[in-house]
Structure 1
Amino acid sequence: MEKTEKMIDQHDEPEIGSVAEATPHKPATQAPGDLFDVENGDVDFRGVSWQGAAIIVTKLQIGLGALSLPSTFHVLGFFPGLLCFTTLGLICTFAGYVCGNARQYFPHMHSISDAAELLFGKFAREFIGVAYYIYVALVAGAGMLTVSVALNALSNHGACTMVFLAVICAVSFIIGTGFRSLEKVSWISWLGVAGIILSIWTTAIACLTQDRPAVAPATGPIDLEIRAFPKTTFYQAMSAVANQLFAVGGSGIFFSVSAEMKQPHLFTRSLLCGQIFIILTNIIIASIIYGKVGRYIASPALGSGGILIEKISYGIALPGLVVTAVLYSHVAAKYSFVRILRGSRHLQSNTAQHWAVWASSNFVTVIFGFIVVNVIPFFGDFLSLVGALFNPIFTNVVPGFMVLFFISKRPIKAVESQTPPSLDESQSTMDWLVGSFTAAKRGKKEACAFAIAWFMIITGAFIIVGGTYATVLSIQAAYDDGDISGVFSCADNS
């Protein structure tokens, strides 16, 4: 009997025998229809080990979000904030599982735009593709912005902020263009993760040893105003939720990570290692910092330990912050690079066209990031805006619909089908969407997956509408109060 497997039923990793065993220098045998040619290409885009994938998953999400998370506990209240972050973390882990393992069934996929085409057709591919590129490039810009904050803090605003931004843009372009595969980027990601973790722990320990928060008044009584439960407005709460989603919302990028793994069937192992570490680290660090400084939280949080600790922490974190900018710039550039050269010999050949497209993709990405962060030169609301407007699409909405598709269609794994997967042009969205309601009645697992999928879709839509509205109001209020400098400003942002 022909064996079929449902993606959502895969709790254990596929057996090693299901694909050819990978060697340290040669990726596993590719499935029919795989995007990258593992035998004949000049460039090996399938060299990432499962350990390398785990560190990339970690680096994609550790850093910028961890620096903004303590302030969300103050806005939402500690217990609701903790519950909200844990829930979002579980949703993003489930979404990451769906995204990272989808290529075992459809190995032509490289990004979430390919999944959108499978679900909704070619128009959806273009729409989601543009949104995906903008999202990743914006996060790269956020990384550049954070590096400029670090350089301003370390140098006591020794130069115009735009100069610092220009420097990190140049560094991102040079390193990003030199590393064409994620395997090379995974090497520097180890350094990036180590730097970020050490720096935030330095800040947390410094906060624990202080008698009073560094940014609190030097004399007189202080009220930390530790909130167990919320005391806030709707728009402040939604902005905080968007910030939390940003901290763990890299799920949509996991297509690209899985696409460059030697053994994609081990992605679940990489995902769990990365996500468990990220969620626990964020909770512990944010709880310590919030518990000690309360409402006297700096944004980013590395400034909460005082001027000296801030300089030390930023000095330690600087390599990690640079890696964040490089990694996201690389991922955004890789999307446009693959989108342009997909199906041609230039994708994996050392031709002039290959290098021209690759270098141009990196250049456009860093210039876009430079412009955006100079137009939106504020840290907290920038992350909230990205988290509200884009993250839910890639962590909730599209993965939720993918779950409905899989429980309805029950596709065969590509390594078992022996034929390249193809899109059924005659199939409409309503076919699998209606079919998912029928499939949900087959058993408890299907019913549970069906319920989770709709919960993801509905909460994602709510965050998009409510979070974006709230962030826009917050930005407007900041401008009205004079808390934000003008665009393309040289002002100190540390």
Structure 2
Amino acid sequence: MTTKESDFVVGSHIAHSGKDSIKDVESKSDDKEKTGEENVFETHEGEMEFKTLKWPMAAIVMTKIQFGLGILSVPSAFASLGAVPGIIILLLMAAMTTWGSMVTYRFRHFHRSTHSVPDIAMIMGGEPARIAIFSFYILYIAFVLGAQILSISIAFNAITAHGTCTVVFTVVAMILVTIIGSFRTYRMLSWLSWIGVLAVLSSVLILTIALGVGPDRPAAAPAVGPYDKEVVATKSTTLADAMLAIVNLLFAYAASPMFVSIVPEMPNPKDFPKALYVCQASITVVYIALGVTIYYYTGQYIASPALGSANEIIKRVSYGVALVGLIAGGSNIAHSLSISVFVQAMRNSPHFKANNWVFWAVWIGCVAGVSVFSFIIASSVPFFNALLGLIGSVFSAFFCLGFPSAVWFYLFWAQEPNRSWTASFKSRSVSLWLKAVMNAGIILITLFIAAAGLYASVESIDNQFATGSVGQPFSCADTSNTSG
């Protein structure tokens, strides 16, 4: 197996010396004997069935995980960057995260036992890599869930005009996502995901229509007198503000590393690309259409989350409609993180797919544990934009961009046995060279976003505490700025 276009096995993984066609990947992975691995949710007699998620339902689950927080932060990012740079960067993030999801999907075709990112790390770097990446992954998704819990508490504050202490609302949000997130499979959550997507979309449409046809000015605009919204195609801004906006746009696609854990629950994993393309294309169109519209009507007075941009009545109505969607999004994220923890802890146990009290005790414990951890994050960092920026710079850049590109090099750029580096480099096809350059570029972008985005997020957090524009950790203060 030393010809230019042949596939070969190196250690525990399959590598390509010539091309990375998805048809080649699928043909090599359909036969269990060729991969030597069994699907992580392969069902045997007496075990629970997990592979029940058809691709249309998978698409809506992915859309709900991705959509809820992104649409609430995109308009403010456009306000910081200007509409044109904002749209260009958003499209770039959509393209790179879609590519990254396809890379991890292809990896799983070679390794059917793969469930989530930590499994990929295990195969690439052994147990130390699995432990390191798994720890980092838990922190990442816990921060994402924390942001979702924070948004739910903001919604409760807005709807009730700060009816009680914010910590109480945050606890209620944590309990809700724990209960709903403990549903056993993604399929059980899929119908709630449909409702959730419609709820968030409806709430943003209500806000958009109210801003477009209503006589009132944006909530943050001066109460009387003329005002300038400063709606521009391009905008000069500071590095810190620009990077905070960029990482918020990246966070709009922050759920993409979780998508690989959906594949094992699909009865026909080859349908995953269809679900991925439907998800990414639809949310990108919605992000641009509604993001630009809301920015046009609010300009520099856009709130973040965006639902707070209109007057008090519209704010309460918008948050009221969105609440179901925010809870559904949080529940999906809680489920995704919990199932990853559960699989890592239990996959070698006889109780892994057994419908008994041990299974349920460990499963409920996983969901409760990640929800409590995320609650602590949400209560400790009580500001929405800066929290998303912190997640985007430290975690999203690595998991959404850099890590998939490293996986691509592992899969398709490995050294061929019994061939010198010089001969191996000469054997690469033009297509593979172009993809190598692209992935190297993505890794460089990752490093820049991580460094500059972290600087911007820390500066924003420091400024907000210094000016007193946010409350203290575990504060009862109103996070929605809604008057009674």
Q: Output the TM-score relative to the length of structure 2.
A: 0.90
Matches within 5 A, 1:178-197: 179-197=183-201
Matches within 5 A, 1:352-371: 352-371=357-376
For 2:72 and 2:79, the matched residues in 1 are separated by 14
Structure 1 residue aligned with 2:174: 169
Counterpart selection for 2:22 from 10, 13, 19: 10
Determine if the alignment matches structure 1 residue 319 to structure 2 residue 324: yes
User: Given residue 9 of structure 1, which amino acid in structure 2 is its aligned partner?
Assistant: S
Structure 2 residue aligned with 1:23: none
For 1:353 and 1:269, the matched residues in 2 are separated by 36
Residues 338 and 366 in structure 2, CA contact (< 8 A), matched pair in contact too:
yes
User: Given residue 469 of structure 2, which amino acid in structure 1 is its aligned partner?
Assistant: D
Higher alpha-carbon deviation: 455-464 or 202-211:
202-211
User: Given residue 371 of structure 2, which amino acid in structure 1 is its aligned partner?
Assistant: V
For 1:281 and 1:11, the matched residues in 2 are separated by 31
Structure 2 residue aligned with 1:402: 407
For 1:451 and 1:331, the matched residues in 2 are separated by 32
For 1:174 and 1:51, the matched residues in 2 are separated by 25
Determine if the alignment matches structure 1 residue 200 to structure 2 residue 204: yes
Structure 1 residue aligned with 2:11: none
Residues 242 and 463 in structure 1, CA contact (< 8 A), matched pair in contact too:
yes
User: Given residue 200 of structure 1, which amino acid in structure 2 is its aligned partner?
Assistant: V
User: Given residue 327 of structure 1, which amino acid in structure 2 is its aligned partner?
Assistant: N
SS at match of 1:484: coil
For 1:12 and 1:390, the matched residues in 2 are separated by 32
Counterpart selection for 1:469 from 452, 455, 463: 455
How far apart are residue 438 of structure 1 and its match? 4.3
Higher alpha-carbon deviation: 437-446 or 61-70:
437-446
User: Given residue 180 of structure 1, which amino acid in structure 2 is its aligned partner?
Assistant: R
How far apart are residue 165 of structure 1 and its match? 1.1
Q: 1:450 to 1:37 in 2, by over 3 A?
A: same
Give the root-mean-square deviation of aligned CA atoms.
Answer: 2.7
Structure 2 residue aligned with 1:424: none
For 1:104 and 1:323, the matched residues in 2 are separated by 29
How far apart are residue 439 of structure 1 and its match? 5.4
Q: Deviations 1:270-298 (Å, cap 9, x if unpaired)?
A: 00000000111101111001111100101
Structure 1 residue aligned with 2:478: 492
Matches within 5 A, 1:89-168: 89-168=94-173
SS at match of 1:249: coil
Higher alpha-carbon deviation: 356-365 or 34-43:
34-43
Residues 407 and 439 in structure 1, CA contact (< 8 A), matched pair in contact too:
no
User: Given residue 155 of structure 1, which amino acid in structure 2 is its aligned partner?
Assistant: T
Q: Deviations 1:437-484 (Å, cap 9, x if unpaired)?
A: 945862222122111211111111111111112101110011111111
Determine if the alignment matches structure 1 residue 460 to structure 2 residue 465: no
Residues 155 and 319 in structure 2, CA contact (< 8 A), matched pair in contact too:
yes
Residues 143 and 321 in structure 1, CA contact (< 8 A), matched pair in contact too:
yes
Runs of 4+ in 1 over 4 A off after TM superposition: 1-7, 11-15, 17-20, 434-441
Structure 2 residue aligned with 1:414: none
For 1:379 and 1:309, the matched residues in 2 are separated by 20
Residues 302 and 314 in structure 1, CA contact (< 8 A), matched pair in contact too:
yes
Residues 352 and 359 in structure 2, CA contact (< 8 A), matched pair in contact too:
yes
User: Given residue 405 of structure 1, which amino acid in structure 2 is its aligned partner?
Assistant: Y
For 2:287 and 2:238, the matched residues in 1 are separated by 24
For 1:435 and 1:362, the matched residues in 2 are separated by 48
Determine if the alignment matches structure 1 residue 382 to structure 2 residue 396: no
For 2:426 and 2:203, the matched residues in 1 are separated by 47
Q: 1:436 to 1:251 in 2, by over 3 A?
A: farther
Structure 2 residue aligned with 1:74: 79
Q: Output the TM-score relative to the length of structure 1.
A: 0.88
Residues 37 and 111 in structure 2, CA contact (< 8 A), matched pair in contact too:
no
For 2:25 and 2:424, the matched residues in 1 are separated by 27
How far apart are residue 305 of structure 1 and its match? 2.3
Residues 121 and 133 in structure 2, CA contact (< 8 A), matched pair in contact too:
yes
For 2:427 and 2:22, the matched residues in 1 are separated by 19
User: Given residue 267 of structure 1, which amino acid in structure 2 is its aligned partner?
Assistant: F
Q: 1:407 to 1:154 in 2, by over 3 A?
A: same
User: Given residue 481 of structure 1, which amino acid in structure 2 is its aligned partner?
Assistant: T
SS at match of 1:377: coil
Q: 1:307 to 1:111 in 2, by over 3 A?
A: same
For 2:201 and 2:421, the matched residues in 1 are separated by 45
Residues 397 and 450 in structure 2, CA contact (< 8 A), matched pair in contact too:
yes
For 2:222 and 2:424, the matched residues in 1 are separated by 62
Counterpart selection for 1:47 from 52, 57, 67: 52
- What number of residue pairs does the alignment pair up? 464
Listed as ranges, the gaps of 5+ residues in structure 2 are 8-14
Identity of aligned residues (%): 34
User: Given residue 443 of structure 1, which amino acid in structure 2 is its aligned partner?
Assistant: S
User: Given residue 170 of structure 1, which amino acid in structure 2 is its aligned partner?
Assistant: I
Determine if the alignment matches structure 1 residue 447 to structure 2 residue 433: yes
For 1:41 and 1:410, the matched residues in 2 are separated by 43
Determine if the alignment matches structure 1 residue 254 to structure 2 residue 259: yes
For 1:477 and 1:286, the matched residues in 2 are separated by 26
Q: 1:435 to 1:239 in 2, by over 3 A?
A: farther
How far apart are residue 120 of structure 1 and its match? 2.7
User: Given residue 184 of structure 1, which amino acid in structure 2 is its aligned partner?
Assistant: M
For 1:492 and 1:226, the matched residues in 2 are separated by 29
SS at match of 1:346: coil
For 1:236 and 1:149, the matched residues in 2 are separated by 23
User: Given residue 347 of structure 1, which amino acid in structure 2 is its aligned partner?
Assistant: F
How far apart are residue 166 of structure 1 and its match? 1.0
SS at match of 1:390: helix
Structure 2 residue aligned with 1:418: none
